[in-house]
């Protein structure tokens, strides 16, 4: 039972007190005393009828209401990435079919990557149309410039656009990142590449953010914008050689904690389409 409910229930059984004499004495004292200057918080309690209700108002020394406390996720990179993980985990999800394509756009560049890595994709960059051959039976056709070289193949490894092979737990993702990246900078680049270029199931994306939070030397950037000027909060990691001009900052929405891109780019937001050339 909360205090206000208790006061109300007691008031139902208690006859109202005679406040007349007390009010008269209070008004007489106010009239004869000189007002005093007050500093810091002011607490005002208002009693009406048979029930007393206390209302607390905090006033700053400048006379206006006190500013709200800043969101901890804006100043703590670990909390920010944890919030991003929670947001990712809550997203609706339908796994793509193997014959579909992952479409992403970054600036003027458009990519169609095979969901399972075996179908032929495409890169469009302005007037250039560059084939992205799939890997089938350990071999892929050779591309020179923007042209496929007939009759030539190279050994390949399948590179799927949908990373169903990645861990869905924090510890599993940490182990994966440690295998493929041996320092914070390369680990950050791997995280960035997975976020922007691959389709990830919600549990995988959440695990990726949680694992990224365990990268040494992370820094929060409370006020930052992505490549298109959208405001957000950011996380950055130590750049190679300590040169701040080469640092990469991941930008997240301050309210929803959705990924917005980097300070130099806007999130590609990978989408699933049925054919090469189709757009969502």
Q: Is 156 within a domain? A: no
**Residue 210 in tokens:** 């949680």
**Residue 211 in tokens:** 């694992």
Which of 161, 122, 148 is closest to 276 using CA atoms? 122
- Number of structural domains the chain divides into: 2
Q: Is 178 within a domain? A: yes
pLDDT confidence band for 59 (50 / 70 / 90): very low
Q: In this structure, what are the phi and psi dihedrals at residue 179, rounded to the nearest 5 degrees?
A: -75, -40
Q: Is 87 within a domain? A: yes
Are 24 and 89 in the same domain? no
Residue 52 domain boundaries: 3-29+37-57
- Over the chain, what is the mean pLDDT? 79
Q: Determine contact, residues 170/157, Cβ cutoff 8 Å.
A: no
**Residue 247 in tokens:** 């640092």
What is the model's pTM? 0.70
Which is it for the CA torsion 108, 113, 115, 120, positive or negative?
positive
- 117-176 confidence digits (pLDDT tens): 999 999 999 999 999 999 999 999 999 989 999 899 999 999 999 999 999 999 999 999
Are 89 and 21 in the same domain? no
**Residue 66 in tokens:** 């006190």
Q: Is 254 within a domain? A: yes
Which of 219, 227, 222 is closest to 261 using CA atoms? 227
Q: What is the pLDDT of residue 54?
A: 32
Which of 254, 253, 252, 178 is closest to 212 using CA atoms? 178
Q: What is the pLDDT of residue 71?
A: 67
Q: What angle do CA 50, 20, 41 make, to 5 degrees?
A: 70
């Amino acid at each position: 039972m909360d205090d206000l409910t208790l006061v109300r229930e007691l008031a139902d059984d208690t006859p109202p007190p005679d406040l007349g004499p007390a009010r008269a004495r209070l008004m007489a004292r106010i009239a004869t005393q000189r007002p005093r200057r007050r500093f810091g918080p002011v607490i005002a309690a208002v009693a009406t009828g048979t029930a007393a209700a206390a209302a607390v108002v905090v006033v700053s020394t400048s006379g206006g209401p006190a500013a709200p406390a800043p969101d901890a996720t804006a100043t703590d990179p670990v909390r920010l990435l944890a919030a991003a993980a929670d947001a990712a985990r809550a997203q609706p999800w339908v796994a793509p079919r193997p014959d579909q394509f992952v479409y992403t756009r970054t600036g003027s560049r458009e990519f169609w990557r095979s969901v399972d890595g075996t179908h032929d994709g495409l890169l469009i960059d302005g007037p250039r149309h560059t084939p992205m051959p799939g890997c089938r039976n350990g071999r892929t056709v050779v591309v020179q410039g923007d042209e496929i070289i007939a009759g030539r193949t190279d050994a390949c490894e399948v590179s799927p656009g949908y990373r169903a092979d990645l861990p869905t737990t924090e510890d599993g993702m940490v182990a994966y990142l440690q295998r493929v990246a041996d320092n914070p900078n390369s680990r950050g680049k791997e995280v960035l590449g997975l976020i922007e270029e691959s389709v990830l199931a919600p549990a995988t994306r959440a695990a990726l953010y949680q694992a990224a939070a365990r990268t040494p030397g992370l820094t929060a950037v409370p006020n930052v914008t992505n490549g298109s000027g959208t405001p957000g909060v950011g996380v950055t990691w130590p750049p190679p050689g300590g040169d701040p001009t080469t640092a990469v900052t991941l930008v997240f929405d301050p309210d929803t904690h959705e990924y917005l891109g980097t300070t130099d780019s806007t999130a590609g937001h990978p989408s699933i389409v049925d054919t090469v050339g189709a757009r969502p």
